Structure 1
Amino acid sequence: MSLVRLNIKGISYSQTQNGAYALILNEVDGERKLPIVIGAFEAQSIAIALEKEIRPPRPLTHDLFKNFAERFDIIVKQVIIHKLVDGVFYSSLICERDKIEEIIDARTSDAIALALRFDAPIFTYKNILDKAGIYLKVNPKKEAEEGDLESVLEDDVLTDPLGTETSKESYKDKSLEELHKLLEEAVVNEDYEAAANIRDEISKR
């Protein structure tokens, strides 16, 4: 079976499951998307790994795993989403230590959170993408029906589980110096929602 490389398109709040998020993976050499439902904690961990400017003062679980692995010279070479059963995706971490490869079973959300931290590529098999992959067209003028996955790609931007879609009006009157100070305080306090909003305001400036 041939492997297909995937990139992370983004994360959206799940329309079908309360408290869950939809992680959207994009086929590198194609137009299909692979939506995977993940929990809020894993969504936040993936979002923080994507947000290079936000660094938690203490390591999250996936950061701890990376630090632990690096201490013992273990690297994650790649992640493979290898099975789909009853709507549940199964993944493997392909790891290497002393030039010996090991395959470790992992939840897909954890595997992708680690892939980001190790800069490891993400793959799936063609038959899984044929079975679960979907085509999503970006159409910001169309009002998507509730539960329609097109809604997660409105304006080609996905909702950030850190809360960047919340109101940012309170930061518009702040100076850049004040914003950088607020960003530092938000990260120290582990208020990643506020940190994401402040970072967006700084980026606009």
Structure 2
Amino acid sequence: MGKVKLNILGLSYSQTQTGAYALVLAEENGDRRIPIIIGGVEAQAIAIQLEELEPPRPLTHDLFKSFAVAFSINIVEVNIYRLHEGIFYSELICVSGNNRVRIDSRTSDAVAIALRFKCPIYTSEEIIEKAGITLSIEGESDDSKIAPVKDVKPPHEYRKSNPFEGYSKAQLEEMLEDAVRNEDYEKASQLRDELNRR
């Protein structure tokens, strides 16, 4: 049973569960995608890392990384090893000196930690056969329906009138600092996108 490397393709609001997100992982050398339903907090932890936002205080996954680094523990890979009744089971492969340890983890946490350690994410061919979907219609890629990870915001906010239109760049930068200080990362993400657009 070969290992299949996965990359993070995006996050979108779940159509089936209120307040949840679908984390979409893409097969590195193929067209199959694995959608995994995760909570809003976990989606935010993943989006913050990809956006390279600096929270004023460490979030749980940042604390985990600091703790691991302080004790010379490195996470070398994440493995999504089981799919049972629609639930994905994952493990962190940890190395400290000559010791190699597997630690059970929720998949959303494992992905958030993988981003912080910059380690690869793998699954098995069997799991991607069961859960993988190919997003294409009449030969065209349908990835455009998946929001980029940094756009974790309600679909009605896309292409809507810009709420930050009337603000200067300096005002937006000040608002961004306030949003990060108040741990309002969704607003911070929107402000950062607006600054990048300008």
Scaled by the length of structure 2, what TM-score is found? Answer: 0.90
Native 8 Å contact 2:135 2:142 kept in 1: no
**Residue 195 of structure 2 aligns to which amino acid in structure 1?**
I
Q: Which runs of 4+ in 1 moved over 2 A?
A: 150-153, 155-170
- Using the alignment, how far apart are the partners of 1:164 and 1:87 within structure 2? 25
Give aligned pairs, total. Answer: 194
| Change beyond 3 A, Cα 1:159–1:113 | closer
Which residue of the partner structure matches residue 58 of structure 2?
59
Percent identity (aligned): 49
The answer to whether structure 1 residue 47 and structure 2 residue 23 are counterparts is: no
Native 8 Å contact 1:163 1:193 kept in 2: no
Unaligned runs of 5+ in 1: 140-149
Native 8 Å contact 1:21 1:40 kept in 2: yes
**Residue 195 of structure 1 aligns to which amino acid in structure 2?**
A
- Using the alignment, how far apart are the partners of 1:138 and 1:187 within structure 2? 40
Give the secondary structure class of the aligned counterpart of 1:57: coil
1:19-168 aligned at under 5 Å gives the runs 19-52=19-52, 54-137=53-136, 153-154=144-145, 157=148, 160-161=151-152, 166=157
Native 8 Å contact 1:91 1:105 kept in 2: yes
Which residue of the partner structure matches residue 202 of structure 1?
195
- Using the alignment, how far apart are the partners of 2:156 and 2:43 within structure 1? 15
Report the RMSD for the aligned CA atoms in angstroms.
2.2
Native 8 Å contact 2:82 2:88 kept in 1: yes
- Using the alignment, how far apart are the partners of 2:161 and 2:94 within structure 1? 41
**Residue 73 of structure 1 aligns to which amino acid in structure 2?**
S
From 141, 166, 171, give the equivalent of 1:178.
171
Scaled by the length of structure 1, what TM-score is found? Answer: 0.87
Task: Summarize deviations over 1:26-74 as a string: whole Å, max 9, x none.
Answer: 000001000111111111111111111x211011111111111111111
| Change beyond 3 A, Cα 1:189–1:163 | farther
Task: Summarize deviations over 1:183-202 as a string: whole Å, max 9, x none.
Answer: 11110111112111111111
Give the secondary structure class of the aligned counterpart of 2:151: coil
Which residue of the partner structure matches residue 143 of structure 1?
none
**Residue 136 of structure 2 aligns to which amino acid in structure 1?**
K
| Change beyond 3 A, Cα 1:111–1:138 | farther
- Using the alignment, how far apart are the partners of 1:155 and 1:85 within structure 2? 25
Give the secondary structure class of the aligned counterpart of 2:136: coil
- Using the alignment, how far apart are the partners of 2:178 and 2:147 within structure 1? 31
Unaligned runs of 5+ in 2: none
| Change beyond 3 A, Cα 1:42–1:151 | farther
| Change beyond 3 A, Cα 1:172–1:138 | farther
| Change beyond 3 A, Cα 1:188–1:163 | farther
